[in-house]
Amino acid sequence: MAIAEDLAVIHDPTVEDPFTVEQHGIDYIPVSERWARPRDIFGMWAGASVQVEYFLYGAILMTFGFTFAQALSLIVIGNLSFLLLGLCSLQGPDAGTSVFAINRAAFGPNGSRPISCFNWLTQIGFEVEGLILIVGSGLVLMVEGGFAPGDPAKVALVILAVLIQGILPFLGHAAIVKTLRLLIAPFVVLFLVMLGFAVPHAHLGLVTHGAGWQTYMAGLAFTIALSGLGWAECGNDYSRYCPPDVSKKGLVGWIFLGTAVPEILIMTLGAVVGTFIAGIGTGAGGLLPLAHQGFIPGWFVVVFLVFAVLQLFAINSLDMYSSGVTLQAIGLPVKRYQAVLIDCVIAFIVTMYAIFSSSFTTYLEDFVDVVIVWIAPWVAIFVVDWALRGFRYVPSELQNTGPTSLYWNSGGVFWPAIFAQLIGMFAAISALAATFHLPPWLNEVTYHNQGADFSVFMGIGVAGAVYFLLAHRAVGSQRGRQLALLRDEGLLAS
């Protein structure tokens, strides 16, 4: 009854102090502490979208051999995937907990652990991507200042970046949301100024024939994975601070407005710059071609990169925050802010390897392949399960990881979800245009389509269909027990 009684508390949406360390992890957030509104979530996502990474993604698309028109169509279509982020943010206000605590309903408390591990590794990967760009920005600033940075400078930059990036996620949800909101205005101005420098030099007809449909599908998978699909597994980590009666349409609409719209504009600007500055996105840091390129003034490059570094730290905080609560969902007995320290150590090691061993583009393309293979099937299972349950969960049962939990199933595992995930992953791999070699028997769809990439669509479609077929009866019967518990706890009218 504690949760039901809490629902009656009138909450103040402005009470959260961004300068105190958030104590919540994956535990249920009392309604009295649900301070966020859809506009707050919009501000956070907009602050994470008006940024240099998406500028680089747009520029990298031009290295695929696309015409500007092809790249623009990919940017628009790919960013429609942010509807997935909106859809995967609707469970948090009702469940009051993070994504991979909610995931226990679909996979079982124990079955959810390996999936949580996939997400933890993914968040580490995104953190490393941000750190690579931060170090790359530092190297460009050194070059613009007349220095010739060597390996010791790279090591020093990585150490400094790792130490700084832990500050916001250590403080928690409110500090992240409010910091990202503050960064929107200066970056809108900076990108408008860059647009002014870019327009006179843009060569939109640089590529005349463009790439074939197989390469187009690879570019679409790249764009989808780095936009809405790549964030879908984090949505509820932030929307859980919205009250249960939040407008579902409003939440999806504000999230889409704060992500797809700015990212379409920023990626398009990146593609425009990619038509006259070659090599952006290549090299160890991805940004070195901006140094002494002769088109955009050096003073503006310096200002732009200084702000970019600040924002990359803020964006990395989203990944580190989600990583921390995911570690708790796996079962590691640590506080959320303690998990941040674990992440910092691991991210430092991986970043050092990435900085000295490969180009940014190579790292990014390899990482995108891994992200698609597991997230595409998971999104389908997560959403189908939510629908089969009548779009409701029992919050107290999500916190119960023992045999008495409603979601325990068989040994804490719901096998239909595991089977659907594995089959969906196989389907995604079979249709993946990987940057690394895959044997033909594992890559049949791509092999017979001359390299076309259908991995996102195969992963989502196959996993969703398999889960529905295997699970709809069992989840349907569990739904009746779920409704009874919700009534008993006063969370549903009789």
Taking a C-beta distance cutoff of 8 angstroms, is the pair 376, 460 a contact? yes
Quickly list H helices, 145-231.
151-165, 167-171, 173-182, 184-198, 213-225, 228-231
Three-class DSSP category at 341: helix
Q: In this structure, how many other beta carbons lie within 10 angstroms of the beta carbon of residue 487?
A: 12
Whether 435 has a pLDDT exceeding 80, the answer reads no
- Write down the domain spans for the chain: 25-369
Q: Does pLDDT of 424 surpass 90?
A: yes
Burial class (CB in 10 A: 0-12, 13-18, 19+), 358: middle
Residue 5's pLDDT band (boundaries 50, 70, 90)? very low
Asked if residue 76 has pLDDT above 90, the reply is yes
Rounded to whole angstroms, the Cα distance separating 459 from 438 reads 17
Residue among 81, 102, 107, 101 at smallest CA distance from 91: 102
| Pairwise CA distance, residues 150 & 454, whole Å | 41
Which 3 state secondary structure label does DSSP give 410?
strand
Predicted model pTM: 0.89
Alpha carbon distance, N-terminus to C-terminus of the chain: 15
User: What pLDDT is recorded for position 283?
Assistant: 61
C-alpha dist (Å) from residue 247 to 88, 90, 474: 14, 9, 30
Task: From residue 287, give the alpha-carbon distance in Å to each of 55, 190, 274, 290, 309.
Answer: 11, 16, 12, 6, 12
Six token digits for residue 415:
């096998």
Strand, coil or helix: what is 388?
Answer: helix
Bridge partners of 413? Answer: 410
In sequence order, which residues have a C-beta less than 8 Å from that of residue 296 and are 6 or more positions away? 194, 197, 198, 273, 277, 290
* pLDDT for 13: 40
Q: What is the DSSP letter of 442?
A: G
How buried is 451 (Cβ within 10 angstroms: 0-12 exposed, 13-18 middle, 19+ buried)? Answer: middle
Q: Is 11 left (phi over 0), alpha (psi -120 to 50) or beta?
A: beta
Max CA pair span of the chain: 73
Burial 88-99 (b: 16+ CB within 10 A, else e): bbbbbbbbbbbb
Q: How far apart are CA 188 and CA 195, in angstroms?
A: 11
Q: What would the pLDDT profile of 98-137 be if each residue is shown by its tens digit?
A: 999 999 999 999 999 999 999 998 998 888 888 888 888 8
Percent of the chain, pLDDT > 70? 93
pLDDT in tens, 343-390: 889 989 888 887 777 666 666 677 888 889 999 999 999 999 999 999
Q: Which residue has the tokens 């200002």?
A: 303
Contact 446, 139 (CB under 8 A): no
| C-alpha–C-alpha distance, residues 157 and 135, integer Å | 6
Residue pair 284/138 in contact (Cβ under 8 Å)? The answer is no
The pLDDT value recorded for residue 262 is 95
Residue 70 CA to residue 59 CA, distance in Å, equals 13
Determine if residue 51 is left, alpha or beta; phi over 0 gives left, psi from -120 to 50 gives alpha, anything else beta: beta
230-275 pLDDT, tens digit each: 999 999 999 999 999 999 999 999 999 999 999 999 999 999 999 9
Cα–Cα distance measured from residue 337 to residue 168, given in angstroms and rounded to the nearest whole number:
10
Nearest by Cα to 112 from 328, 425, 393: 328
Question: CB of 455 within 8 A of CB of 371?
Answer: no
Q: What is the chain's alpha carbon radius of gyration, rounded to the nearest angstrom? A: 22
d(CA 31, CA 246): 12
Q: How many residues are present in the chain?
A: 494
**What is residue 361's predicted lDDT score, i.e. its pLDDT?**
66
From 3.40.50.720, 3.40.640.10, 1.10.4160.10, 3.65.10.10, which CATH number describes the 25-369 domain?
1.10.4160.10
Give the integer Cα–Cα distance in Å for 228 and 379. Answer: 11
- Cβ of 481: how many Cβ atoms within 10 Å? 12
- Per residue in 468-487, pLDDT (tens digit) is 999 999 999 999 899 999 98
Sign of CA dihedral 286, 290, 292, 294: positive
Q: Which residues pair with 410 in a beta bridge?
A: 413
What three-state secondary structure class fits 270? helix
Is residue 27 classed as helix, strand or coil in its secondary structure? Answer: coil
Q: Where are the beta strands (DSSP E) in 352-410?
A: none
